[in-house]
């Protein structure tokens, strides 16, 4: 028998849609013991919230997240708001005893993240930060192959996340769709938005990072601000590249930019080990490239694994072998895993504490870009 779990989701943007879609699909495919009920959507813009409620099937609308947290009929708070609001909402939600899913990055900086970790751990509430790419089946399979020791000792980790949507000098900053360009709201640019994904995956697949050295650039120095109407300084990093040393001795390069003309969301990583290598590409997300040096030399080569068979991560819950799934399913998997853990009173990874490690690396990267020095991860 399933038990209802009432969801109150805050934020009607892109991430609000991905999470709402996941709550709607998860029971159909995963049948978790806790069955999500879309109880309330919250957004400061009432019209937007009403339309969102109608589109996704939320039972009620709130315009003040504090009222949402006061409601006894809400069990789970899902934070899909801009980064500068995560801290206050998450701490209040923890105090109210709610289960919490929070969009990435965890916080504006490490200090905020530490307060959030302390709050959820003190309250003992199940929590998760939405680094969804871990749950693309091909990426989860990469984790399985590494954990099985198939790569042996890891020498190299290489990741990029490339976009091109901010190249125009006419693009304003700030406000609804463009808060990611406003450092006061986003905390940072590509480092917190895109490299945070790469770092989360890397920490999960390859263990801790010990030290980094970075460079950042802001190519367009001033943009009109949507909220003030004035030309204002741009304080985010438009591009960031960094070198890292992992605790396991491997070397890494990470690069992200919103100025790579032609690339919309090219997240790729490659890992080179003593015995084998793996590579993954978000544009072809259902495939995992794998090279096994143990193969007979006459058939040795990169193979492209079509990650659709029922014995591959998550795939047994979907269609039949050979039929692939996509981006939105990573959010369904995330909710499925969270609900399974929450039914036992537990969190699912990456927890707030796990995401704090990513936040620390992001902060070290930005500090290194400012100083030009190598910065150790605390
Ligand atoms: C930015 O364009 C963005 O939407 C990120 O905020 C997401 O986290 C990433 O998955 C796709 O790109």
Residues contacting residue 236 through CB under 8 Å, at least 6 positions apart: 180, 181, 182, 183, 186, 188, 189, 190, 218
Nearest CA to ligand 1 atom 11: 265
337-360 pLDDT tens trace: 999 999 999 999 999 999 999 999
What gap in Å lies between CA 377 and CA 339, rounded to an integer?
A: 32
The DSSP element (H or E) to which 14 belongs, if any, is: helix 14-30
Tell me what pLDDT residue 251 has.
Answer: 99
Average pLDDT in the 317-328 region?
Answer: 98
207-261 pLDDT tens trace: 999 999 999 999 999 999 999 999 999 999 999 999 999 999 999 999 999 999 9
Tell me what pLDDT residue 215 has.
Answer: 98
Report the atom number in ligand 1 closest to the C-alpha of 196: 8
What gap in Å lies between CA 43 and CA 9, rounded to an integer?
A: 9
82-113 pLDDT tens trace: 999 999 999 999 999 999 999 999 999 999 99
What gap in Å lies between CA 251 and CA 102, rounded to an integer?
A: 30
The DSSP element (H or E) to which 29 belongs, if any, is: helix 14-30
Ligand 1 pocket check for 200: Cβ under 6 Å: no
* Residue 96 Cα to ligand 1 middle (Å): 29
Tell me what pLDDT residue 303 has.
Answer: 98
Q: Is the pTM of this model over 0.85?
A: yes
Q: What percent of the chain has pLDDT over 70?
A: 100
pLDDT at 378 over 90: no
Nearest CA to ligand 1 atom 9: 194
* Residue 321 Cα to ligand 1 middle (Å): 29
Beta-bridge partner residues of 128: 101
Q: In degrees rounded to 5, what are phi and psi of residue 73?
A: -90, 10
Ligand 1 pocket check for 177: Cβ under 6 Å: no
What gap in Å lies between CA 378 and CA 375, rounded to an integer?
A: 9
Distances (CA, A) of 149 to 75, 154, 206, 277, 289: 40, 10, 12, 12, 17
Q: What percent of the chain has pLDDT over 90?
A: 99
pLDDT at 305 over 90: yes
Residue from 83, 182, 193, 268 to probe ligand 1 pocket by mutation (most atoms less than 8 Å from CB): 193
261-304 pLDDT tens trace: 999 999 999 999 999 999 999 999 999 999 999 999 999 999 99
Report the atom number in ligand 1 closest to the C-alpha of 133: 10
Report the atom number in ligand 1 closest to the C-alpha of 103: 8
Segment 233-239 long-range contacts (CB within 8 Å, at least 24 positions apart)? 234/173, 234/181, 234/183, 235/183, 235/184, 236/180, 236/181, 236/182, 236/183, 236/186, 236/188, 236/189, 236/190, 237/188, 237/189, 237/190, 237/191, 237/366, 237/369, 238/166, 238/189, 238/190, 239/190
Asked whether the beta carbons of 77 and 8 are under 8 A apart, the reply is yes
From 163, 159, 161, select the one nearest 260 (Cα to Cα): 163
Tell me what pLDDT residue 187 has.
Answer: 98
What gap in Å lies between CA 163 and CA 16, rounded to an integer?
A: 21
14-66 pLDDT tens trace: 999 999 999 999 999 999 999 999 999 999 999 999 999 999 999 999 999 99
Burial (0-12, 13-18, 19+ Cβ within 10 Å), 174: buried
What gap in Å lies between CA 335 and CA 216, rounded to an integer?
A: 34
Residue from 163, 188, 265 to probe ligand 1 pocket by mutation (most atoms less than 8 Å from CB): 265
Which letter does DSSP use for residue 173 in this model?
A: B
Tell me what pLDDT residue 58 has.
Answer: 98
Tell me what pLDDT residue 1 has.
Answer: 84
Ligand 1 pocket check for 193: Cβ under 6 Å: yes
Task: Say if strands 76-79 and 3-10 run parallel, antiparallel, or are unpaired.
Answer: parallel
Q: What is the dihedral sign for C-alpha 298, 304, 306, 310?
A: positive
Secondary structure string (H, E, C) spanning 227-247: CCCCEEECCCCCEEEEEEEEC
Nearest CA to ligand 1 atom 1: 193
What gap in Å lies between CA 278 and CA 156, rounded to an integer?
A: 11
Asked whether the beta carbons of 370 and 133 are under 8 A apart, the reply is no
């Amino acid at each position: 028998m399933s038990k209802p779990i009432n969801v109150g989701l805050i934020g009607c943007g892109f991430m609000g849609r991905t999470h709402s879609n996941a709550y709607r699909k998860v029971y159909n495919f995963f049948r978790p013991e806790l069955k999500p009920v879309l109880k309330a959507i919250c957004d400061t813009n009432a019209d937007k919230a009403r339309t969102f409620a109608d589109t996704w099937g939320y039972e009620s609308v709130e315009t003040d997240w504090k009222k949402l947290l006061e409601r006894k009929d809400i069990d789970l708070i899902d934070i899909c708001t801009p980064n500068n609001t995560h801290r206050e909402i998450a701490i209040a939600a923890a105090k109210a005893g709610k289960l919490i899913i929070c969009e990435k990055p965890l916080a504006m900086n490490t200090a905020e993240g530490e307060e959030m970790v302390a709050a959820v751990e003190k309250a003992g509430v199940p929590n998760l930060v939405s680094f969804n790419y871990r749950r693309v089946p091909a990426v989860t399979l990469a984790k399985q192959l590494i954990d099985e020791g198939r790569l042996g000792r890891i020498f190299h980790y290489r990741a990029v996340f490339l976009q091109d949507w901010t190249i125009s000098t006419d693009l304003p900053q700030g406000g609804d769709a463009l808060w990611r360009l406003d450092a006061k709201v986003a905390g940072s640019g590509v480092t917190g938005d895109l490299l945070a994904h790469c770092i989360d995956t890397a920490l999960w697949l390859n263990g801790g990072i010990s030290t980094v050295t970075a460079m950042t650039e802001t190519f367009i120095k001033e943009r009109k601000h949507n909220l003030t109407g004035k030309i204002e300084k741009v304080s985010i990093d438009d591009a960031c590249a960094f070198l890292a040393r992992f605790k396991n001795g491997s070397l890494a390069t990470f690069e992200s930019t919103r100025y790579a003309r032609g690339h919309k969301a090219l997240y790729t990583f490659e890992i080179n080990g003593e015995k084998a290598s793996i590579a993954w590409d978000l544009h072809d997300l259902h495939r995992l490239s794998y090279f096994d040096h143990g193969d007979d030399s006459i058939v040795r080569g990169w193979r492209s694994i079509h990650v659709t068979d029922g014995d591959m991560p998550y795939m047994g819950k979907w269609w039949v072998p050979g039929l692939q799934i996509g981006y939105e399913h990573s959010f369904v998997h995330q909710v499925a895993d969270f609900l399974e853990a929450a039914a036992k009173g537990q969190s699912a990874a990456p927890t707030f504490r796990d995401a704090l490690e990513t936040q620390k690396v992001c902060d070290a990267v930005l500090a290194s870009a400012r100083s030009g020095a190598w910065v150790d991860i605390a």
